[in-house]
Structure 1
Amino acid sequence: MQSVAESLERLGGLARTPAVARLAEAFQAAGHELALVGGPVRDALLGRSVHDLDFTTDARPDDILRIVAPIADAHWDIGRQFGTIGARFGDDTVEITTYRSDSYDGTTRKPEVEFGDTLEGDLLRRDFTVNALALRLPEVRLVDPSGGVEHLIAGVITTPSTPQVSFGDDPLRMMRAARFAAQLGFAVDQETRDAMAAMAGRIEIVSAERVRDELTKLLLADEPRPGIELLVDSGLAEHVIPEIPALRLEADEHHHHKDVYQHSLTVLDQAIGYEKERHPGEAPDLVLRLAAILHDIGKPATRRFEPGGAVSFYHHDVVGAKLAKKRLTALRFDKATIDAVARLIELHLRFFGYADAHWTDSAVRRYVRDAGPELERLHMLTRADVTTRNRRKADRLAFAYDDLETRIRELKEQEELHAVRPDLDGEQVMRVLGIRPGREVGQAMKFLLELRLDEGPLGEEEATRRLLEWWEQR
Structure 2
Amino acid sequence: MAQVLDSSSVNFKLDPVVLDLGQRFVDAGFELSLVGGPVRDLFLGRTSPDLDFTTDATPEQTLSVIKKWADNFWDIGRAFGTIGMKKAGFQIEITTYRAEAYDPDSRKPMVAFGSSLEDDLLRRDFTINAMALRLPSLELVDPFGGVRDLHGGELATPGAPEASFSDDPLRMMRAARFASQLGVSVHDDVRVAMSDMADRIKIISAERVREELVKLINGAHPRTGIDLLVDTGLAEYVLPEVSALRLESDEHHRHKDVYQHSLQVLEQAAALETGPDGPVPGPDFVLRFAALMHDVGKPATRRFEPGGAVSFRHHDVVGAKLTAKRMKALRFDNDSIKAVARLVELHMRFYGYGEAGWTDSAVRRYVADAGPLLERLHRLTRSDVTTRNQRKADRLSFAYDDLEQRIAALAEQESLNAIRPDLDGGQIMELLGLKPGPVVGRAYKFLLDQRMEYGPLDHDDAVGKLKAWWAEQPESAVEQAGEEDLSNHTPAEESK
Distance (Å, rounded) in 1 between the aligned partners of 2:406 and 2:194:
50
* Count of paired positions: 468
What is the identity, as a one-letter code, of the residue corresponding to 1:378?
A: L
Equivalent in 143, 167, 170 of residue 169 of structure 1: 167
Shift, 1:281, TM fit: 10
Distance (Å, rounded) in 2 between the aligned partners of 1:354 and 1:442:
30
Question: Deviations along 1:394-450, whole A, 9 cap, x unmatched?
Answer: 011111111111111111111111110111111111111122222221111111111
Distance (Å, rounded) in 2 between the aligned partners of 1:306 and 1:7:
66
SS of 1:230's equivalent? helix
Aligned position for 1:447: 446
Shift, 1:66, TM fit: 1.6
What is the identity, as a one-letter code, of the residue corresponding to 1:291?
A: A
What is the identity, as a one-letter code, of the residue corresponding to 2:60?
A: D
Moved more, 419-428 or 73-82: 73-82
Shift, 1:5, TM fit: 7.3
Distance (Å, rounded) in 1 between the aligned partners of 2:228 and 2:7:
32
What is the identity, as a one-letter code, of the residue corresponding to 2:138?
A: V
Question: Deviations along 1:207-228, whole A, 9 cap, x unmatched?
Answer: 1111111111111101111111
Aligned position for 1:371: 370
- The correspondence of residues 19-98 of structure 1 with structure 2, limited to 5 A, is 19-98=17-96
What percentage of residue pairs aligned between the two structures are identical? 63
TM, length-normalised to structure 1:
0.96
Shift, 1:283, TM fit: 4.2
What is the identity, as a one-letter code, of the residue corresponding to 2:155?
A: I
Shift, 1:163, TM fit: 0.7
Distance (Å, rounded) in 1 between the aligned partners of 2:398 and 2:89:
47
Distance (Å, rounded) in 2 between the aligned partners of 1:279 and 1:423:
32
CA contact (8 A) 2:179 2:185 kept: yes
Cα pair distance change 1:40/1:426, threshold 3 Å: same
Distance (Å, rounded) in 2 between the aligned partners of 1:245 and 1:9:
41
Distance (Å, rounded) in 2 between the aligned partners of 1:339 and 1:7:
50
Shift, 1:8, TM fit: 3.0
SS of 1:243's equivalent? helix
What is the identity, as a one-letter code, of the residue corresponding to 1:29?
A: D
What is the identity, as a one-letter code, of the residue corresponding to 1:417?
A: L
Question: Deviations along 1:364-410, whole A, 9 cap, x unmatched?
Answer: 00001111111111010000000011101101111111111111111
Question: Deviations along 1:99-138, whole A, 9 cap, x unmatched?
Answer: 1111111112321011111111100000001100000001
Cα pair distance change 1:340/1:328, threshold 3 Å: same
Shift, 1:67, TM fit: 1.2
Distance (Å, rounded) in 2 between the aligned partners of 1:281 and 1:24:
41
SS of 1:247's equivalent? coil
- The correspondence of residues 41-440 of structure 1 with structure 2, limited to 5 A, is 41-276=39-274, 279=278, 282-440=281-439
What is the identity, as a one-letter code, of the residue corresponding to 2:405?
A: T
Structure possessing the higher radius of gyration over alpha carbons: 2
What is the identity, as a one-letter code, of the residue corresponding to 1:65?
A: L
Question: Deviations along 1:213-264, whole A, 9 cap, x unmatched?
Answer: 1111111101111111011000110111100110000121100100000000
Distance (Å, rounded) in 2 between the aligned partners of 1:35 and 1:282:
36
SS of 2:190's equivalent? helix
Cα pair distance change 1:369/1:281, threshold 3 Å: closer
SS of 1:275's equivalent? coil
CA contact (8 A) 2:183 2:220 kept: no
Shift, 1:10, TM fit: 3.5
Shift, 1:184, TM fit: 1.1
What is the identity, as a one-letter code, of the residue corresponding to 2:304?
A: F
Distance (Å, rounded) in 2 between the aligned partners of 1:109 and 1:170:
8
TM, length-normalised to structure 2:
0.92
CA contact (8 A) 1:44 1:50 kept: no
Distance (Å, rounded) in 2 between the aligned partners of 1:457 and 1:352:
27
Distance (Å, rounded) in 1 between the aligned partners of 2:274 and 2:425:
42
- Which segments of 5 or more consecutive residues in structure 1 lack a partner in the other structure? none
CA contact (8 A) 2:273 2:280 kept: no
What is the identity, as a one-letter code, of the residue corresponding to 2:325?
A: K
Distance (Å, rounded) in 2 between the aligned partners of 1:280 and 1:367:
18
Question: Deviations along 1:2-52, whole A, 9 cap, x unmatched?
Answer: xx97663535x21xx122122112111211110000111111112233442
CA contact (8 A) 1:35 1:137 kept: yes
Shift, 1:276, TM fit: 3.9
When the two chains are superposed, the root-mean-square deviation of aligned CA atoms in Å is: 1.5
CA contact (8 A) 1:322 1:342 kept: yes
Cα pair distance change 1:281/1:97, threshold 3 Å: farther
Aligned position for 1:471: 470
Moved more, 242-251 or 76-85: 76-85
SS of 2:95's equivalent? strand
CA contact (8 A) 1:21 1:138 kept: yes
Moved more, 270-279 or 339-348: 270-279
